């Protein structure tokens, strides 16, 4: 059923819908990480998004294996692990050993000679396989992998740093993926520059989840629970 939003967004229609919200833990307060995990879970976060960067595939270092292990042990909600590393198959076991069945692991197809082999290792470990698609990667180049994965993480910014500007041409890529997802049985997730207008536009179209960073979730005065509740109700 369509309902009409009122107030500052008068005239914008939306559906009563369910979508997932993932906390980008690269933006969390590492001086009090255990409490951050606890407060996010109590606030109703759906999963914890972990960005692993090796300084080679992307020009930055981010979260470590130990960070991921700590959050995995502290959290009861699923982990959502984004591997921005070269040749992930060489060390995929290190990451899978720290995770639980049902957690998600994304790889970048360009980072691996045989990405389907790495995806099969994720499947064999009882986890959810995913690929992350950079802004410069076309849907056509990953078409066969769409038949393997259950999740596609669409990067709306170039990977490697938080706080970047949205790249508008990514919207056309999402439109292509939306037309394929039912037939190929995968869900679409948004990562990067996730603002209110992006959720308002793409959640009704069928994007399943959104990675939240400093734009909407972290560094705010209100509690996580209030923030997340407002986002779910599209109350911006």
Tens digits of residue pLDDT in 157-202: 887 665 567 788 899 999 999 999 999 999 999 998 899 999 999 9
**What would the pLDDT profile of 76-128 be if each residue is shown by its tens digit?**
999 999 999 999 999 999 999 999 999 999 999 999 999 999 999 999 999 99
Please determine, for residue 11, whether its predicted confidence score (pLDDT) is greater than 80.
no
For helices 224-232 and 33-43, give the axis angle rounded to 10 degrees: 40
Give the residues across from 22 on adjacent strands.
47, 211
Q: Which domains does the chain have, with CATH numbers?
A: 17-217 (3.20.20.70)
What is the rounded average pLDDT for all residues in the chain? 91
Contact by Cβ (8 Å): 99, 72: yes
Other Cβ atoms less than 10 A from the Cβ of 103: the count is 23
Residue 60 pLDDT class (50, 70, 90 cuts): confident
Count CA atoms closer than 13 A to 178's CA, side-chain side. 14
Q: Is 50 within 8 Å of 63 (Cβ atoms)?
A: yes
Q: Assess contact for 25 and 63: CB atoms under 8 A.
A: yes
What is the predicted pLDDT for the residue at 16? 60
């Amino acid at each position: 059923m369509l309902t009409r939003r009122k107030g500052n967004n008068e005239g914008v229609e939306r559906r009563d819908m369910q979508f997932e919200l993932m906390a980008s833990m690269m933006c969390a307060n590492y001086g009090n990480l255990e409490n951050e995990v606890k407060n996010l879970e109590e606030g109703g976060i759906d999963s914890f998004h972990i960005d692993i960067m090796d300084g080679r595939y992307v020009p930055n270092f981010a979260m470590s294996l130990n960070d991921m292990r700590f959050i995995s042990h502290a959290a009861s909600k699923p982990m959502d692990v984004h591997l921005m590393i070269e040749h992930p198959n060489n060390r995929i076991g290190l990451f899978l050993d720290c995770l639980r069945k049902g957690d998600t692991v994304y790889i970048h197809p360009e980072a691996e000679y045989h990405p389907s082999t790495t995806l099969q290792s994720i499947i064999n470990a009882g986890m959810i396989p995913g690929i992350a698609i950079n802004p410069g990667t076309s849907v056509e180049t990953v078409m066969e992998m769409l038949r393997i994965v259950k999740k596609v993480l669409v990067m709306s910014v170039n990977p490697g740093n938080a706080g970047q500007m949205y790249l508008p041409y990514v919207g056309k890529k999402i439109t292509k993926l939306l037309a394929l997802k039912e037939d190929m049985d995968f869900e679409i997730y948004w990562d990067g520059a996730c603002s209110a207008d992006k959720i308002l536009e793409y959640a009704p179209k069928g994007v399943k989840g959104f990675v939240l960073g400093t734009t909407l979730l972290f560094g705010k005065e209100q509690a996580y629970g209030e923030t997340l509740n407002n986002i779910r109700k599209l109350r911006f």
